[in-house]
Amino acid sequence: MKKLRILIAGAVVVLLASCATAKQMSYFLDMENDVAYEAPAAPELIIQPGDQLGISVSSEDARLAAPFNPGEGDAASELGYTVDSRGCIIFPVIGSMKVEGMTLQQVKEVISGRISSLGYIKEPIVNVALTNFSVTVIGNISNSVLNVESQSINLLQVIARSGGTNANSKIKDITVIRTEHGTRTAYSVNLQKNELFNSPVFYLRQNDIVYIKPKGSTLSSEGQTAMTFVGAGLSLASIVTSFLLWSSR
């Protein structure tokens, strides 16, 4: 009878542990269904040294735009314009331009205004894109460098693209390391809290590093398989024990 009680207690412990693990892996625990939460728009990217900008100029008369698109179609042109350590780019005809701290839209407006004011094109069509937007993901996840084409990506999208978290991921303390204005800052984000959507690093920027911390030591695949069988065995023992106790009454 004593052995039966031990088996029951073991089964209960396994069941409680599995429930606790499920809760630890759950996201957004403090969000309620059918409740509207404010959803701020993604902030515009801020240009910084080292960025590569793809810039093209067009107009109704292609000949007028040609001076602003030198080497179009060749390998050099595909690299775009690299923002130097002074925060500047050298743009055809216009020359040196300070772009650090600007948004892509602001660069577009400045180039368009200068082309127009110089009398080259009355209403130029200018397109500006960040061509080397990437985010590094490391830690208890599929380590990778993700290239971003859409010019906007958030933390959850990056985690999903990297394979997602697992039972050993410390989702209460995800670290995002951001470098801007010559300063590197680490931010902590809790994926179980609604406040993550208002974090300054929910929407990621170019060159951000996302670190998924492990909770502790990880079982090997053989160990995990063994634990699964142990849990199943204890659960089965609990059922059998309960039946025997019921039938003995």
Determine which of 53-57, 178-182, 223-227 has the lowest per-residue pLDDT on average: 223-227
* Cα distance between residue 100 and residue 87, in whole Å: 5
- The CATH code of the domain that includes 178 is 3.10.560.10
Domain assignment present for residue 227? The answer is yes
Q: Which two tokens stand for residue 160?
A: 């999903």
Residues 204, 227 within the same domain: no
Interval 221-242 mean pLDDT: 56
Residues 191 and 24: beta-carbon distance below 8 Å: no
Q: What is the SS3 assignment for 224?
A: helix
How many degrees, rounded to 5, is the angle at CA 41 between CA 39 and CA 43? 140
Which residue range is the domain that position 13 belongs to? 2-23+219-248
Q: Are residues 140 and 93 in the same domain?
A: no
Residue 39 falls inside a structural domain: no
Contact of 47 with 86, CB cutoff 8 Å? no
The mean predicted confidence, pLDDT, of the chain is: 83
pTM for the structure as a whole? 0.74
- Containing H/E element for 221? helix 221-248
User: Does residue 47 form part of some domain?
Assistant: no
Give the pairing type, strands 81-82 and 52-58. antiparallel
* 143-162 pLDDT, tens digit each: 899 999 888 999 999 999 99
Are 137 and 207 within one domain? Answer: yes
Question: What element of type H or E holds 112?
Answer: helix 104-117
In a domain, 32, yes or no: no
Domain final residue, candidates 90, 115, 130: 130
Total number of domains constituting the chain: 3
CB 131 within 8 A of CB 154: no
**Percent of the chain, pLDDT > 90?**
61
- Say whether both 56 and 126 belong to one domain: yes
- Residue 14 belongs to a domain: yes
Q: In sequence order, what E strands does 59-109 have?
A: 81-82, 88-91, 95-98
- Give the CATH number for residue 68: 3.30.1950.10
- Which of 130, 146, 181 marks a domain boundary? 130
In a domain, 119, yes or no: yes
